[in-house]
Structure formats: structure tokens, C-alpha cells
Amino acid sequence: MPENTIDTTIPVLGESKIPSPILKSGRYSNLQCFVTDKQRVLIDVDMESINHLLDRGREIPAFELAGAREKIYFDPSKLRCAMVTCGGLCPGLNDIIRAIVLELSFGYGVRHIYGVRYGLQGLIPKFGHDLMELTPAAVADIHKSGGSVLGSSRGSQSIEEIVDSLERLNLGILFMIGGGGTLMAANRIADAVDRRGLKISIIGIPKTIDNDIHLISRSFGFDTAVDVATMSIRGAHNEAVGYPNGIGLIKLMGRHSGFIAATAALARQDVNFVLIPEVDFDLEGPDGFLAALKERLALRKHAVVVVAEGAGQKFFDSADSSRDASGNIRLQDIGLFLKKAITTYFRDADIPVSLKYIDPSYIIRSLPANANDNVFCSFLGRDAVHAAMTGRTRFIIGYWNDQFVHVPMEASAGKCRRIDPFGKLWLNVLEATGQGPLIRFQ
Amino acid sequence: MPENTIDTTIPVLGESKIPSPILKSGRYSNLQCFVTDKQRVLIDVDMESINHLLDRGREIPAFELAGAREKIYFDPSKLRCAMVTCGGLCPGLNDIIRAIVLELSFGYGVRHIYGVRYGLQGLIPKFGHDLMELTPAAVADIHKSGGSVLGSSRGSQSIEEIVDSLERLNLGILFMIGGGGTLMAANRIADAVDRRGLKISIIGIPKTIDNDIHLISRSFGFDTAVDVATMSIRGAHNEAVGYPNGIGLIKLMGRHSGFIAATAALARQDVNFVLIPEVDFDLEGPDGFLAALKERLALRKHAVVVVAEGAGQKFFDSADSSRDASGNIRLQDIGLFLKKAITTYFRDADIPVSLKYIDPSYIIRSLPANANDNVFCSFLGRDAVHAAMTGRTRFIIGYWNDQFVHVPMEASAGKCRRIDPFGKLWLNVLEATGQGPLIRFQ
Amino acid sequence: MPENTIDTTIPVLGESKIPSPILKSGRYSNLQCFVTDKQRVLIDVDMESINHLLDRGREIPAFELAGAREKIYFDPSKLRCAMVTCGGLCPGLNDIIRAIVLELSFGYGVRHIYGVRYGLQGLIPKFGHDLMELTPAAVADIHKSGGSVLGSSRGSQSIEEIVDSLERLNLGILFMIGGGGTLMAANRIADAVDRRGLKISIIGIPKTIDNDIHLISRSFGFDTAVDVATMSIRGAHNEAVGYPNGIGLIKLMGRHSGFIAATAALARQDVNFVLIPEVDFDLEGPDGFLAALKERLALRKHAVVVVAEGAGQKFFDSADSSRDASGNIRLQDIGLFLKKAITTYFRDADIPVSLKYIDPSYIIRSLPANANDNVFCSFLGRDAVHAAMTGRTRFIIGYWNDQFVHVPMEASAGKCRRIDPFGKLWLNVLEATGQGPLIRFQ
Amino acid sequence: MPENTIDTTIPVLGESKIPSPILKSGRYSNLQCFVTDKQRVLIDVDMESINHLLDRGREIPAFELAGAREKIYFDPSKLRCAMVTCGGLCPGLNDIIRAIVLELSFGYGVRHIYGVRYGLQGLIPKFGHDLMELTPAAVADIHKSGGSVLGSSRGSQSIEEIVDSLERLNLGILFMIGGGGTLMAANRIADAVDRRGLKISIIGIPKTIDNDIHLISRSFGFDTAVDVATMSIRGAHNEAVGYPNGIGLIKLMGRHSGFIAATAALARQDVNFVLIPEVDFDLEGPDGFLAALKERLALRKHAVVVVAEGAGQKFFDSADSSRDASGNIRLQDIGLFLKKAITTYFRDADIPVSLKYIDPSYIIRSLPANANDNVFCSFLGRDAVHAAMTGRTRFIIGYWNDQFVHVPMEASAGKCRRIDPFGKLWLNVLEATGQGPLIRFQ
């Protein structure tokens, strides 16, 4: 239970002394809408865990509640802010960019807001990407399109050159929207900012379509991804039932965790096998996947298989593994591997099958967010601004126990949220698919 | 903080002694997936509230965690179950029916499962509605369609006649899916069951597309409703910007709470005024809505207005109010009222406007659930079964702090979750719409 | 067979002498892609009609085929063009605006292109609406949104003032996108242009979501409208089957013709009664609609009714009829009328029913075009430009026998395409609904 | 102009003497809705072609108009019918099955209707597939799902064994829904039926998602396919603009023709290169595709490429070509080939690019039909029944000049409709993409 010992303190650049200008023009009493620093959200809501801590006289760990504060650190009239989107596309990027710009502009009156083009490349002079000036008018409709209006890129860049740029641009806040690699870079940038004695807030907004960030119960874009993934499952199901021994095989996103695969399977309820990184399985042998698939076909004449991209990596020679520009281990393609393995297995067994393979990844990543993610991203972006204006730094905006919270970058970095093979989600997948006894557990 | 004194104990019909048959056929160790009765979810996650309670030596209130238990009360081989859907349609009804049937059948081996037709009418002999036999094959694809395969109806029926039917049918469990009126009927049915000394579990699955059940942070169908409501807002926006002084007026669901209106406005971000039951407003006068609308038109030449159906009821003579068959106060139609008020106001002011009125309610209610609600309903239905099999009764399946929990019927009954006019959701609506200073607060 | 005597000649402002610049920069031989004036599309494709004409030595009537011509009349370097959208919104308006701008710009090199704001109001100085300058960059993404970026308005304006504006702006071409009233205005504008001896082409692009323009087999936006109308039918069906004696009543667009109602009913196949302007029906009496509805409920317990807005106008006192700003007769609301009539009828008969009324008109009108209409509008806009550049005037771009053609304004004006009550479309509706014998025919 | 010499006569099994029972129960006068055999639809609507024929005293070729006839050949009370779906899935299959069953049942009173399972396999005893009995109740909702409720298969089967089955089942009509291979099999089955002196109508309903059947201007499913293909283009566009030198590469269906690729590109208007089988192109060299792509990236930093699966087959060694079970030449995968060629080219040129590859084929094929295809399929199925009941055989139901017609199997067999590289469709694609001069023409 490592959460018990988490340090949930968020560093600040200095004391917040300036009264917040939020909503002050109206008759709406802004005092009543501010969050205080004492408002904290328990990390663990399980009664037993809490009692266990209380019995030992230990403090109950809790995150700061996100939201507007009564006093702020930065002077809006002088502040210059920038934001950057890094790594793969994810539904909701434009919603967040828009929310940050609108909150900075209308909530706080900040007038100098910039978008960094093409990820961290945009802060490295040699790439020659100009900054975009971001105004409320410029971002008014961007949430209706997918992708990122700033563009993105993969790959690390020189931390010192980045901080040179931040200094040269005289920035007070940098919002970094990206995945694990980006958040680690954010940490290193914050280190360099500290070393130089600069007053620049570095805020992370965690992006992972796989929904697998430690201490973050929901990441933006995931809901949209599941929504659209079900369309592929519908297709695979129709193809499977359409032919004698029809097999629909869908590869979904999920490098380290199978949340998209498992959740989409629950949403559509037409899936017979879900293969995820968290649950080991064999191909061959009486308990292997192929024998189970054969049994299923004998029984029902069709099968739908969903595989997360990170599943079954044990089948590949680790010597082959390389890393992509973002530093992620380049996964071998389990989808194509399974396609071949299934085809070969049934050909050798002289059983004609009709296998259709679907890989919808890029269709999903590039979509506009659905309504649920629209709303979620709107909160994420605005809360990032509220926190940043108080001079907080080195944190990410998280979501925990139905609340938006501040999570220290260190607490979440480098760790991955994964499906518990004995938990409720996976139990329901086993029940919905009926694949239960066919898969061995780690 | 009334939650502090909630009694969260769930009554049971008797001791659970029968080992659960769930997943027992596989190599999957079912022991590890069971939830124990000690697992409880804190109701309040705010640190200050918890400390306040601890300082006073008070118990910290918590709900039972939902999920499969190791021992059950009912003998599946003899058990007869029924389910009924009551009141207005809501996306997800078929998902829940399906999940209950599949879990009873495949999870526990129950073989006698019935669907009550057309709400509580189906338990009153004089209506002549036959029961439907519900098998896994019969419900396999029902989640792909909207509505309820059982049908529904409004209106109360004789409690004694209902219990006569339950007795005659020799039922052990009755799942009641419905809104506030249904849950109150469930309570009265449970009272009558007790009086007669019967062993029948009465389980409620709370249905409100408005998402306004007390102590339930999310109700099924709401996410789908918001999703589709945004389509109407998109239309209203295009109509509004399409004409000189164009006004798009949309009435959305929300009898006592404005969650759909507020959330849809945040999702689409094209709305200029949101009017909800929780926030008072005037029509006339310098601070009234009409003056604000006029100002907005002068400034931007178009406006989009979203009104929840329960907003502005003060404008109607309460003498007019009657009740519908479900016992709900029959609201006066605020949408048509506003349409007329706006038209008259601008005609009198000699300002030509082009107003388009949209009421998408029945399109929304009758839709199939989206992926997010599919998954949510699948959990709701299965958890209702897990709890029911242990002989628990007089509770509803709720969702709190990201967990499915058991909530005593009494704790939730007759109370309504509403938008806090000083909370984060409404603050974000004020910022997204810019309507801020124009509306007075209660 | 009035088409036999149609004069299909299109007037021109002068001789086309300038070689078309289209595609000339490439190695693509533009000679091969030009249409000649001799290419004509037969109006009537029925063998018997053709033989009938030939026997009498009469000419076979045919429309000019639309498309790029080898020689053009206007000098692109000096030409100034404008376009205007009038009347109600319709999916595809932005697609057409975009296609006109792109073809003028990239196809012909025209550099002065203007959008008239808010319909014909934009050509009347007293309204104070500025022109929009339309460039390829400005219109690049507009087809992804519904509505009209130019805005629209209803109502007639002074023809002379309009032509004053055309003259003052030194326009060569005016593209008018609108319905029957707009095309009649176009004719009068062209008359005034002639009287003043000006060289201004007036081109109509017929807009009617109802798909009921004489001699035009398909109008843009209709396909999108049907697509979305089916969503309402799905909802009405689920509401109807969801309650004892459930009735879903949907009002769809269709002032003079029932194409949307009939086609949507065929698309969804869940409709039991379709009521359209072309087919008379009674409410009362043994052959009336209400008796038929009662019979249907007795038999199947639910019914879905689709009514076109122009159906059943005989039930209203014609003395009540007024005209809207566009000069259309203001129809009485048949949807609300039927809702009341049905409710009263069954209340009097002491038969409880559950009626749900859906009016999706403004949701439909304001949508972006679907893929099919995107493509159709792209052709419409480009063909309008090709024809306009040759100095053709007083025509509309039509679609006939699967081809885009030039139709003289006079040939189509003031007449309405309607459903043949003995034709294939209505026959299929009768079969799909089973309403057959219950409706009397004119 | 080979259509001039087409023999458009449809063979019949015998004289139609039985009065049609269609609609006879109502007051609707069925006489007025019948089509006569004299009603014929001109094949060519071009005035010049017609005059050319008339000048030479030649007959003007025309198809029989489809529709219900006054007299029929088969006695509905004794008739036994079957239908089969063959080859790849296509949106609309279930709509057609449903329409055939409903028209046979309700229109004509036929009571013995069977579905052949899994394509022609279902008529070969050794596969052991039972027939499905098809009733109106069984097919009521099937059009709401994609795929085929009958299932399908690829591959030819013994004609004699098939006819043995037809004989044994005592069938009068066999509806065959399939592509080119299926229609050729239909012809051979009809030959064998003739040889044996049997009275069995063999009717083809042409299926090609590629929309490339000779003399058929529209095939079912194509409109749905284009609709959904645009989603992939939207995704590819967002991915392309999201990265420096981003390239979105989409492979769409189209073995011999590029209609889906070209039409989808026109619908979405975000595509920069469309590569289709009808238009030759080189990869290398100054005029090659790769140089053009490089130029585009230098200019705009991103590019979207759509390639039809049958494009660029010249790049593959023809020795590699094999045939699939349906007898189609197994195409080499141009999508993966281009992906590799582009990656290699830019790596060699030391230009970093970010290429995303999307292949949505199976998602598209397995979808339910959209509203437009729903309606189209409903007509197709009903007209197939009307014609079949008259004893017509060896024909397909076609669509030509906006009318449903009877096309003799021989007239259409083995020929392919293709995009004219100098016609309007391709011209518009060139304009919409701007790829014009970069592609050489055959």
C-alpha cells in the first residue's frame, strides 16, 4: 500500500499575495467559490485501510483539491504563458488548449499566451518552428476538431536548450500536455529551472489514451477511445458471424495496460477473448489460447478476439526490441503475430477459417473528444490554470475519487496503473466473454 | 453534513451459508475475487470532515462495497426472480436487464427469471399483461436497442395486489428499476413483504436521466443524454448565428436539477445562457434575463439559451399544478413560456429576432446507451445480482467515489442531488457562458 | 406531359471568346474534359414518350449538360462575384459556398469574391451588413459545420435597391442559393438587370430540404435530412413500444410534398402511418385516421405516426392562414393538431394511451451535410461557376437523370415536385407501413 | 458505344396468367400502380447519341422498368423460394433479405421462404449447413444490424450439386446476392436449370461495395462505405497536420475502380493525393508520386494520401499473383507497399516524416446500411420479387437513370464500370486535391 507514504506536498514558487480577479465584476460572490488549501481529498477510501492507519497513529494521505484560490502568485498583467502538446494524438488535446487559453484570458486577464509548435521541437531554435499566439478568438472552435492545433512530435530534446528558450521568452508558466516521457522531461526542466533560479511554473497535464497513469483514475480521451473502439468490435462481430468459422481479430491500444480492450469488450459484449498485458497466456498446449479458440469455433462457429497492443510480448525475442523517438520500447506487433499464428494453426489442423483483422488505432486517436471528454478536458485545463496562477509547480492535474486534484510529479512518475487480474473489471470481462478457464493468470 | 449520521446498514433476509458458484469451474481462483462485508467506501473524502469526526470520536460513515460474496443466501436451483422497469425511458434499461439475466444465469445458475411487462401494471392481474420469460438467448442483443424490452408505465398500483402477485409467483428476488416514485413503492412493497413474513428481496436500481439522486454520484443514461443533447446545442447554435439576432432556445431534461443542461453546455461550449432550477432568475427588470439577452444580442447578434425543464417554475401560478400518473408534480412548460416571453419582449421593443425552439427530450430518452453507459449498466446489473443473492434487501445499487456500493433505500429516498450554485460545476458554466453577473442567486 | 414543350434555352450575356484557364498548367489535357453545348440530357427517359414525340415529328426535349466549357465570357482578372444564401438553413450551404469560392479562385483565377451577409438584407444599405471577403483560406473548413457562414434571412427586399448594390459593387456574377421565393426574386433581379442594360449573370442554386423542386430530381440537404430524421423515428418507435398503447408521433418537414416523411419511413421501416400533403385523409369516421389508429393499437399495442408539416391543412380554417416573411403561407401546425386530436379521441373512448410528440426540424436543418450531400454540393457549386463564367444567366443548376444540368429559371419556377400517390415510392410506403386501406386517395 | 447493340430482353419461364394479389384488399386501386412491359428506360440519355441512332434508323436501346406487374407466373400458394448471400460483406445485405421476405409474404402471400446459409456452401450437402426458415417476424429487425443473417462464404461450388439441391427443395425462385463471381455462377446455374428442363427463376442482385458493375449506376452499400470512409480521412488528416511532415495514408476498397477513394476524397476535401486503378502513376522520377509528395511536404508540411486497393498493381511481379476462393486475382497490398516505399524514400533523402497508415476496410464492410442505402435496398429487394413472380429469369435488378430496371445477366457480366480519367468525377478530384499535374494519364 505505497500510497500511505506518498508526499503530496506541491512546491510553490513563492507566496500568493495578489487577490484573484476571477468573477469579481459580478454580483456573484467569488469568495464562496474559492477552494482553500486545507481542502484535501483522501487517497484511499477503503475503511479498513483508514482504520489501519489510524490505529498506528499515521497520517491519512490526501491530495490537494484543485480549484480557484483566493490569492494568486503571478501578476496577470505581466505574465507570459506557453503550452505544448507532446507524443501521440489523443482526443481532447484541443479542448484542453482551449480551456487553458480561455481561463487565462477571461478568468485572470492574462494577455500573452503562446502555443509551442510540434511538441518540444518548438522550443529548440534549430527546428525553426515559430510560436503561435493563442487568443480566445483563435481557439473558439478548436474543440470541435480532433488532433492538436499546436501539432506534436515524439522524441526528447536538450533540456538546457528548452530552458534557454523559456528564459528568452520570459515565460512564467509552461503547461506540458503529454505522456510518461513528457512528464519526466517536465521534471528535468523544473530541475534546470530551479538550478538557474528562475521563477517558472512547470505544470503537467497527463495524457494517455490507455488510461494507465498511476494515481490518476481517469485520463482524458480514454472515454472517447472506448466509444469508438466498440465500432470496430461491432464490425469484427459481424464479420465473424458472417462466415463459417469466422474470426474477428481487433488490436486495440494499450502498451502496458488493457483498459481500452477490457472496457470496450464490456461495452459491446460481443467479444469472446480479451488478451491484455496484465494477464499471461500461452498460445500452444491444451490450456493455450489456440486450443481455446478451436473449442469456441467448434461450439459456436465464430469468435471475436480483442488484443491489447502490449499483450503477449513474451512471444517476441527481447533482443529485437528497440525504442521509438519518445523512448518507449518498440513493441512487436502482437496483432499481426496472432493473425499469423491463428492462420497457421488452423491450416495445420485442416480447419478452414475466415479471419478478418482490424487495427483502428489511428482512427481513434485523431477523433474529436466526445461530450464526456469535452467536459472533463474543460475542467482539466481550467484547474491547471487555477493552480499555476498560485505559483505551484512540479505537479500534474489528476482525477481521484471523483475530484480534480494536484498530484506531485514525482508521486506519479514512472509508474503505471494496471488492471488487477483479481479485481472487478477483469472479473466482469471474464464473465462477459466466457473465456474464463482458458487463460492462466500470473 | 447529514451524511455523518446516515445508517448504512443493509437488511438481510437471513444468513448466507451457500458457497457462491461463481467462476468455480475454472482454474481462476474465485476466492481472490470476492468482496468481504468489511470492505466499505467512505462517504466523505474531504480530509477536514474526516478530521472533524475523528476529533469528536464519531464513526466515519461508509457504504458497503458492492461485489460478489463468497457465501450466498438463496439456493440458485430453486430461486425465482423477476425484474420490472418503471417510469420514463432512459438509455441503458436494456443493458441492465441483460446484465441481471446473464449474471443470474451464468454466474449463479438461476433458471427461472421473469420480466414484468409495462411497469407495475404487469403485477396487477386486471391489466392482463403476461410475464416474459427471460433467458440468456432472449436478451443477447437487447442492449443494442434503446427503450425497455419489458416496457414501462407510469402510475402507482396497489401495494397489496403487487405483493399478492409476488407471493403467487413464488419469487425470491424482485429487481425494481425506476425513479424516485418507484423506489418509494419499493419501500412500501418491502414493508408489506415483511408484514407477511415473506422472504423476498426487494432491490432498487435507481433510474434518473437527470442524474439527481441523493448519495448517488452518477446514474445510468445521463452520460448518453448529455452526449446527444450536445447535438441539439450544435443545431441551436447554427440556427442562431445564421440569422440577424438569431436565438436558439433548447429545453433539456431536468425537473429538479440542471445537471444535463449544465453539463451539455460545458460539453459544447456554444451556450450563452443556462437556466436551471437551482438558480433563481427574473425575466423583467434591469437584472432580468430578458435585458441580459437583449444586451448579448446587441453585442454579438446571436444567442443560445439552454433551459432545464424545472427552471423558472415560479413564473407559473401554483394553483395550476397537477400531478402526472407517477405522482410527479406536472411542471408547466418553461420552454414554451420562454419562447413566448422572448418573442413578446423583442416585438414590444421593436427588435426583429429569429427564434428557433428545440425540444429533443424524447429523442434522447429512447436512445441506446453509449459505450460508457453500456459498461456502467453492466456493472450495475451484475452488482445488483451479487447483493441480491446474499439475501440483502431494501437497498439500491449506487455509485460513490468511483465505486459501486450498497445504499439503504431510506438513506436516498425522497431527497434530490442538486447543483451547488457556488460549486465548481456551476462556476465553470458561468465562465463558459459568460452569463455570470446577469443572474441572481438564491 | 408539359415537359415536352419546355424551352430549355439558357440566355447568355454575350459570346464566350476567352479560353478557359482550367487545369491549363498541367500535362492533363484540358481539351478532353470540356463539355460542349451540344451535349444535352433527355428530360424524359421513357421509351413510350420518346416514340410518341418522334411519331409526331416533335423535338425531344433535353437540358444542357453542366460542366466546364472551353471558352468563357468573363475575364477572370477583372471579374467580381458575390453569393448569397436566403431562407431556412439546409445542410450543405457551406459546402456550396466553399465549392464556388474554390472553383472561382483555383479553377479560373478570380480574385474578387464576396459573401452577402444575412440573405438579401445584405444588399440593402439600411441594414448595415458589411460584405464578407471570401478567400480559399477563409472557406477551407466551413463544410465541416452546419448552417451558413454568410447567414441568411427571410423576406423580400426592394429589387431596385438590390440592383443598385450590384451595380455599385460592379459585380459580374451573383450566385443566389435559396428556395422558391428566392428564385422568383432572382428572376425579377435579372429583369431589372436587363432593363438597365447591365452585364450581370444571375444564377440560382435551388435549395429545398423538402426535395420538391419541379424538374430537379434531387436537391441538396435532403439526403442528410432523411438520415437524421430516422433517428427521431427510432426514438418514437422505442417510446411507442415502451408503453401500453404507446404512440410515437413525429412531425417532419414537407410543406407541399411528403418526400422526407415517406423516405425516412422507408429507411427506418418502423412506421405505421405516414401522412403527407399529397394524399388526403379524414380524421373521423370509419375510414378515418383515428379509427385506423385505434384498430392498430388494438392489434399491436403501439403505433408510430409520421406526419409531414403540410399534411392535413384542410382541417384548418383557411381564414387563419397568413404568410411568413418569405411569402410562404404560414401553415397551421398539423403536429400539435394531431397530438390534441389523438389525445381527445382516446380520452373520449376511455382508452389510456401514452403519446410522445417529436419535432426534430431545427436539429435537422442546422446539421452539416453528410458525405453524400458533401459530394453533391461540391458538384453543384463548381458547375454553377462553370456555367456562370460563360455568361449564362437566368438559370438554375439542376440534377436530372443522374446528371447535372442547366435548367431555365422559368421552367422550374413556381411549380412543385410531389409524390405520385400511384407511383413506386408511395406504393412502397404503403407496403412498409401496412397503412394501405386506411387512407383515401384524392 | 457498345450499349447500342445490347439485347435487353429478359427470358421468362412461361406466360404470366395469374392476377397479382398485391394490395388487392384495400380500396387503393392496384391497377394504377402496376408497371407494364412497355415501360422502358432509355440506356443513353445523351441527345447526340439518340440522334445518331435515329439518323441510322436504329432502335434506341432501353431497359425494362422494374416494378409490380398485373399478372404473375408463379402460384404464390405453392411457390417455394430461397435466397443466398455470397462473397464479402456489404452494408445492406440484411435490408435486401428483409425486403424480399416481406414482399413475398405480404405482397404475394408466399409462405415457404428459405435462407441458404454461408453462401453457396449452404446448397452443398457435405457442408451440413441447414436452411433457415425466413418469416416476416424473423426478419423484422435485421436491417438494423450489419453483416448478413444468412452468413456468406467465398469460393465456387459444383453447379450440378447446387441444382440438385434446388430440385430436391422444389424451389421456384432463387435470389442470388453477390458480386461478379456469383453472377457468373448464377448464369451457369440457369444453364443447368434449362438443360434439366426445370422451371426455376434465377435472379441476381448485384453486390459490389466498389460500385463498379457495368450498366448499373449505383450498387447498394457504396453510399454507406463512402460515408464511413470519410471518418478515416478525417483521422488521417488530423494525424498528418499533427506532426512535422506528417503523412496520413489510407487504403480504401476498390479492386478495379476507384469510386470509393475518389468519392470519399470529394466528400471530405482534406485529401492531397488519390491513387486509383484507372489512372497510371510512377513512384520514381521527377514526375513520380514520391517527388510530388516531397514537393507537397516542402510546401505545406503535411499530406493525406488515399489509395484504392487495386491501384499500382504494376509495381508487383505478376508471377506472384494468385486467386482467392472467389476466383478474384489476389491483389498485392498496395497500401503496405506504399507505406514502405514512402518511408524508405524519405529516409534515404534524410527527411524525417511521420507516417500513419489506416486500413478501415473491415470496419466499413460490416456496418449496417445508412438511411440512403436502407431505402435503396428496400426497393431492390421488392423489385427483385416483383420481377421474379412473373417468371423472369437470368437477370439482375439494376439502377439506371434514376430508375430501377431489369438488366440481362449477360449484358452486365464480366464487365466493370470504371472512372473515366477525363470525366467529371476525376476532374473534380483533381481540383479538390490539387494533385493535377503530378499524375500521368493512361
Residues in C touching B354 (Cβ below 8 Å): 153-154
| C243 near B CB under 8 A | yes
Q: Which residues contact A102 (CB under 8 A, 6 or more apart)?
A: A136, A139, A382, B431, B432
**Angle CA(B209)–CA(B214)–CA(B215) in degrees, nearest 5?**
110
Q: Where are the alpha helices (DSSP H) in B310-423?
A: 334-348, 361-365, 371-389, 409-412
Average pLDDT of the segment spanning A134-158: 95
Rounded to the nearest angstrom, the gap between the alpha carbon of residue C112 and the centroid of all alpha carbons in its chain is 28
| B144 near D CB under 8 A | yes
**Which helix (H) or strand (E) covers residue C298, if one does?**
helix C289-300
User: Residue B24's pLDDT is what?
Assistant: 61
A27 pLDDT band (50/70/90 cuts)?
very low
Question: Who among A50, A102, A374 is closest to B267 (CB)?
Answer: A374
Is residue B173 within 8 Å of residue B136, measured between CB atoms? no
Would the CB atoms of C427 and D33 count as touching at under 8 Å?
yes
Cell, residue B249:
432556445
Would the CB atoms of D238 and A145 count as touching at under 8 Å?
yes
For residue C407, give the 3-state DSSP assignment: strand
User: Residue D440's pLDDT is what?
Assistant: 45
- Gyration radius of chain B over CA positions: 24
Please tell me the least confidently modeled range out of A254-263, A361-370, B346-355, D433-442.
D433-442
User: Residue C177's pLDDT is what?
Assistant: 98
Give the closest-approach CA distance of D326 to chain C in angstroms: 30
For residue C251, give the 3-state DSSP assignment: strand
Angle at which helix D222-241 crosses helix D259-268, to 10 degrees, equals: 60
Cell, residue C244:
401500453
Give the closest-approach CA distance of B126 to chain D in angstroms: 29
Residues in D touching A250 (Cβ below 8 Å): none
Write down all domains in chain C, each with its CATH number in brackets.
2-219+369-400 (3.40.50.450), 222-366+421-438 (3.40.50.460)
User: Residue D341's pLDDT is what?
Assistant: 97
| A424 near B CB under 8 A | yes
Is residue B396 within 8 Å of residue B193, measured between CB atoms? no
Phi, psi angle pair for A188, to nearest 5°: -70, -35
Is residue C377 within 8 Å of residue C220, measured between CB atoms? yes
Cell, residue C183:
428564385
Residues in B touching C243 (Cβ below 8 Å): 118, 151-153
Of B442, B90, B431, nearest in space to B274 by CA: B431
| A144 near C CB under 8 A | yes
Question: Who among C146, C356, C366 is closest to B362 (CB)?
Answer: C356
Would the CB atoms of A434 and B106 count as touching at under 8 Å?
yes
For residue C86, give the 3-state DSSP assignment: coil
Cell, residue C178:
435559396
Name beta bridge partners: A173: A81, A201
Of B134, B135, B114, B109, nearest in space to B18 by CA: B109
* Strand ranges for A236-310 from DSSP E: 246-252, 273-275, 302-308
Would the CB atoms of D118 and A146 count as touching at under 8 Å?
no
Is residue B431 within 8 Å of residue B273, measured between CB atoms? no
Would the CB atoms of D145 and B145 count as touching at under 8 Å?
no
Q: Which of D362, D364, D370 to mutate to test the interface with A (most CBs of A within 10 A)?
A: D362
DSSP-assigned letter for residue C416: B
What does each C-alpha distance from D67 to C261, D74, D100, D379 come to in angstroms?
22, 16, 13, 9
Cell, residue B290:
430578458
DSSP D317-342: -GGG--B-TTS-B----HHHHHHHHH
> How many helices and strands (H and E) does chain A possess?
13, 15
| B377 near A CB under 8 A | no
Of C220, C166, C223, C134, nearest in space to C397 by CA: C220
Instruction: Read off the pLDDT of residues D242-289 as tens digits, 9 standing for 90 and up.
Output: 999 999 999 999 999 999 999 999 999 999 999 999 999 999 998 899
DSSP-assigned letter for residue A381: H
Is residue D260 within 8 Å of residue D254, measured between CB atoms? yes
| D305 near A CB under 8 A | no
| B294 near A CB under 8 A | no
| B24 near D CB under 8 A | no
Q: Which of D54, D364, D406, D424 to mutate to test the interface with C (most CBs of C within 10 A)?
A: D424
Give the closest-approach CA distance of C398 to chain B in angstroms: 25
Residues in D touching C404 (Cβ below 8 Å): 424
Is residue D16 within 8 Å of residue D69, measured between CB atoms? yes
Give the closest-approach CA distance of C411 to chain B in angstroms: 30
Q: How far apart are CA C355 and CA C297, in angstroms?
A: 12
Q: Considering only residues D330 and B263, tell me which one the structure prediction assigns the higher pLDDT.
A: B263
Is residue B230 within 8 Å of residue B201, measured between CB atoms? no
The upper half-sphere exposure of residue B380, i.e. CA atoms within 13 Å in the direction of its Cβ, equals 34
Active site residue C287: no
Give the closest-approach CA distance of D178 to chain B in angstroms: 27
Active site residues of A: 210
Instruction: Read off the pLDDT of residues A122-137 as tens digits, 9 standing for 90 and up.
Output: 999 999 999 999 999 9
What does pLDDT average to in each consecutive run of 10 residues of chain B (442 residues)? Answer: 70 95 61 84 88 85 94 97 97 98 95 98 96 96 95 95 98 96 95 97 96 92 95 95 97 96 95 95 92 95 97 81 66 92 97 96 94 97 98 96 94 86 89 69 39
DSSP A290-306: HHHHHHHHHHHSEEEEE
Rounded to the nearest angstrom, the gap between the alpha carbon of residue B94 and the centroid of all alpha carbons in its chain is 15
| D441 near C CB under 8 A | yes
Would the CB atoms of B235 and C121 count as touching at under 8 Å?
no
Please tell me the least confidently modeled range out of A31-45, C274-288, C311-325, D157-171.
C311-325
Q: How far apart are CA C441 and CA C423, in angstroms?
A: 13
Give the closest-approach CA distance of D119 to chain A in angstroms: 9
Is residue D148 within 8 Å of residue D155, measured between CB atoms? no
Q: Is the dihedral of CA A333, A335, A338, A343 positive or negative?
A: negative
Give the count of beta carbons closer than 10 Å to the beta carbon of residue C1: 11
Catalytically annotated residue among D95, D210, D212, D383:
D210
Instruction: Read off the pLDDT of residues A236-283 as tens digits, 9 standing for 90 and up.
Output: 999 999 999 999 999 999 999 999 999 999 999 999 999 999 999 999
| A145 near C CB under 8 A | yes
The amino acid occupying position C242 is: G
Tell which B residues from 312 to 331 touch A, by Cβ distance under 8 Å.
Answer: none
Q: Quick check: ipTM above 0.95? A: no
Of A108, A166, A114, nearest in space to A135 by CA: A114
User: Residue C46's pLDDT is what?
Assistant: 86
C6 pLDDT band (50/70/90 cuts)?
confident
Residues in B touching C235 (Cβ below 8 Å): 146, 362-367
Residues in A touching C145 (Cβ below 8 Å): 144
Is residue A415 within 8 Å of residue A255, measured between CB atoms? no
| B155 near C CB under 8 A | no
Maximum C-alpha span of chain B: 78
Give the closest-approach CA distance of B182 to chain C in angstroms: 16
Average pLDDT, chain A: 91
Please return the burial class of B436, using the count of CB atoms within 10 Å of its CB with bins 0-12, 13-18 and 19+.
Answer: middle
User: Residue C415's pLDDT is what?
Assistant: 83
Instruction: Read off the pLDDT of residues C280-321 as tens digits, 9 standing for 90 and up.
Output: 999 999 889 999 999 999 999 999 999 999 999 999 876 556
Task: Search chain D and give the residue with CA nearest B141.
Answer: D145
Rounded to the nearest angstrom, the gap between the alpha carbon of residue B207 and the centroid of all alpha carbons in its chain is 4
Please return the burial class of C141, using the count of CB atoms within 10 Å of its CB with bins 0-12, 13-18 and 19+.
Answer: middle
Task: Search chain B and give the residue with CA nearest C238.
Answer: B147
| C269 near A CB under 8 A | no
User: Residue D420's pLDDT is what?
Assistant: 92
Cell, residue B380:
450495475
Neighbours of chain C (3+ CB pairs under 8 A): A, B, D
| A23 near B CB under 8 A | yes
Residues in C touching A144 (Cβ below 8 Å): 144-145
Residues in D touching C48 (Cβ below 8 Å): 38-40
Cell, residue A182:
513528457
User: Residue C442's pLDDT is what?
Assistant: 37
Would the CB atoms of C269 and D98 count as touching at under 8 Å?
yes
